[in-house]
Chains A and B, each alone.
Chain A
Amino acid sequence: DAGVIQSPRHEVTEMGQEVTLRCKPISGHDYLFWYRQTMMRGLELLIYFNNNVPIDDSGMPEDRFSAKMPNASFSTLKIQPSEPRDSAVYFCASSSTSTTYGYTFGSGTRLTVV
């Protein structure tokens, strides 16, 4: 099992540009979570999906952020337009209700907006 796969690993973009982060969850997992990690705010849940349906997006900071899960094996987090304060590490995680509650995290995408 390759685990949760995120791309790109690093992204540097200019303020105002669109950024798209990608995630491939573990096959068979029915939950997918997007988290953001910063020194100031720690790990924050942005949005999560169950069976490809968004369940809770209350953590999405503002309308500039959007997430989709068109199928069980792919999800995107888009920021448009990006701002310097969006600089953070973005993690995707997946889990399955048929096993324990534990999440499996990807290695993250380090986003820098200049």
Chain B
Amino acid sequence: QQQVKQSPQSLIVQKGGISIINCAYENTAFDYFPWYQQFPGKGPALLIAIRPDVSEKKEGRFTISFNKSAKQFSLHIMDSQPGDSATYFCAASMQSAGNKLTFGGGTRVLVKP
């Protein structure tokens, strides 16, 4: 059972544009929603995270929007740069399950110069 669904699978955006990745979850017990960034040959790295009591969190050019009632959250990359080209994963976890992360399927983002 896929508990976190991510879309799109791939995304091409021009430099300076906005990249938007969406995720939907099923388990209302999830209480932590991080995004990870992965470059080829590297492990995923934590990019930004949000808790369900907050509707939006911004760190630099990266923003998470969270809609608890719809059980959806999204990552916006503003002013996308070629260096942002990577695979992005959304994830969800719950403290009661030992912070075990369930990952979405990933989105491969390509930023064209």
Contact = CB atoms under 8 A, between A and B. Distances in A.
Interface of A: 4, 31, 33, 42-43, 45, 48, 50, 55-56, 91, 93, 95, 97, 100-108
A43 B44 contact: yes
A107 B100 contact: no
26 contacts: A4-B43, A31-B98, A31-B99, A33-B100, A42-B105, A42-B106, A43-B106, A45-B100, A45-B102, A48-B98, A48-B100, A50-B98, A55-B98, A56-B97, A56-B98, A91-B43, A91-B44, A101-B32, A101-B95, A102-B46, A103-B46, A105-B43, A105-B44, A105-B45, A107-B42, A108-B43
Interface residues of B, number: 23
A26 to B, nearest CB: 13
B44 A97 contact: no
Interface in B84-111: 89, 93, 95, 97-106
A94 to B, nearest CB: 11
B105 A56 contact: no
Contacts of B100: 33, 45, 48, 56
Contact of A102 (B34, B104, B106): B34
A104 B49 CA distance: 14
Contacts of A107: 41-43
A40 B70 CA distance: 28
Given A101-B99, A107-B41, A107-B42, 16 more contacts: A4-B43, A31-B98, A33-B100, A43-B89, A43-B106, A45-B101, A50-B98, A55-B98, A91-B44, A100-B49, A101-B34, A101-B95, A102-B34, A102-B46, A105-B36, A108-B43
Nearest to B31: A101
B80 to A, nearest CB: 23
Contacts of B102: 45
Interface in B12-69: 32, 34, 36, 41-46, 49
Contact of B49 (A56, A97, A102, A105): A102
A7 B28 CA distance: 37
B105 A97 contact: no
